[in-house]
């Protein structure tokens, strides 16, 4: 669990900006190529199995470092068209885009109806479905990158892992295209990584991503963000006592009192934990992200929901 990357959650929006408007294709010699059978089983069949369902194609995230959608849609236009051709033949589609992302809204208009949503909707599948299809139940959600990967397979290409990469330990702030089988070490070295300064590697979002402890491990095919952090990026991990600042309360999308839930768990008060809404926590990680005392609030609540 990545927490407290910055002391103020709002600062992240200024730091996670892309330097390059094009995708950098990293040449990794040992990457694995998909064969025809793998393409059929892992990419085409899942869509066929959802034939007839209405489709939401999501092109946004509430996490600030997963913001390469505009670049990816623009740079992989032909693959997107091919993937959409397949989806439209079996389903009705609509796009869901962050209401603040005007450029991406315009880019997707040529492919279908675009519904503007608040980025926080990313945390609630039911709310996203309700917003796009007015309480329809027979709905499936795909990420636009999945549609591009489908299009690549149908175009006879190897599917790519398209991910935004940030961090002061590398020459980052860009979207990169990786082949299946690429390791974090290979990405790090390809981006002129500084091994002396590297402190932490995170797979996924800056708010609730997961640590990568072995750089020789393979980048997950669903990865949309990688962080290679230095001491400057990731300040002290030492935790302190709660200072009652209320930041965790203000950022909680469920309106919970996160630090209170942590205290109830530590006291073994399961009934009170439930009474204060502990089981309603959606594990977004915003409370830990905002905490100036570096308290692992989100991870503790996640553990608390499992205790008897």
Task: Name the nearest CA neighbour of 147 among 105, 173, 108.
Answer: 108
Q: pLDDT digits over 217-243, tens only?
A: 999 989 999 999 998 887 666 788 999
DSSP-assigned letters across all residues of 112-150 = S-EEEE-GGGGG-HHHHHHHHHTT-SSEEEEEHHHHHHH
Q: Is the pLDDT of residue 3 over 50?
A: no
To 5 degrees, how large is the angle CA 35–CA 73–CA 71? 110
- Backbone φ and ψ for 75, nearest 5 degrees, come out as -85, -20
- Of 280, 287, 205, 276, the closest CA to residue 252 belongs to 287
Residues 189, 195, 201, 204, CA torsion sign: negative
The whole-angstrom separation of Cα 201 and Cα 193 is 12
pLDDT for 92 equals 94
d(CA 300, CA 303): 5
Residue 37 confidence (pLDDT) above 70: no
Span 23-36, average pLDDT:
67
Distance CA 15, CA 8 (A): 12
CA angle 217, 223, 228 (to 5 degrees): 65
Record the tokens describing residue 142, joined without a space.
Answer: 């795909």
């Amino acid at each position: 669990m990545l927490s407290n990357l910055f002391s103020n959650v709002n600062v992240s929006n200024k730091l996670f900006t892309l330097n390059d408007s094009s995708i950098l294709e990293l040449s990794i010699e040992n990457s694995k190529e998909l064969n025809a059978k793998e393409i059929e089983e892992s990419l085409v069949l899942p869509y066929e199995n959802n034939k007839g369902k209405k489709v939401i194609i999501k092109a946004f995230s509430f996490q600030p470092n997963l913001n390469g959608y505009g670049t990816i849609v623009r740079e992989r236009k032909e693959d997107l068209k091919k993937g959409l051709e397949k989806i439209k033949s079996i389903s009705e589609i609509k796009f869901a885009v962050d209401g603040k992302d005007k450029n991406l809204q315009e880019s997707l208009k040529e492919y279908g109806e675009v519904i503007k949503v608040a980025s926080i909707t990313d945390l609630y599948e039911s709310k996203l479905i309700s917003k796009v299809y007015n309480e329809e139940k027979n709905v499936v959600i795909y990420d636009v990158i999945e549609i591009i990967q489908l299009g690549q397979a149908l175009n006879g290409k190897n599917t790519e892992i398209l991910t935004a990469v940030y961090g002061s330990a590398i020459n980052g702030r860009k979207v990169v295209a990786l082949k299946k089988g690429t390791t974090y070490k290979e990405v790090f070295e390809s981006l002129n990584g500084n091994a002396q300064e590297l402190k932490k590697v995170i797979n996924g979002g800056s708010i609730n991503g997961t640590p990568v402890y072995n750089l020789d491990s393979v980048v997950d095919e669903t990865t949309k963000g990688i962080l290679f952090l230095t001491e400057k990026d990731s300040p002290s991990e030492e935790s302190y006592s709660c200072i009652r600042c209320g930041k965790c309360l203000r950022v909680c999308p469920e309106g919970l009192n996160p630090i209170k839930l942590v205290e109830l768990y530590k006291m073994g008060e399961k009934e009170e934990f439930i009474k204060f809404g502990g089981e309603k926590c959606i594990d977004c990680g915003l409370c830990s992200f905002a905490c100036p005392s570096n308290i692992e609030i989100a991870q503790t609540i996640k553990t608390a929901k499992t205790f008897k």
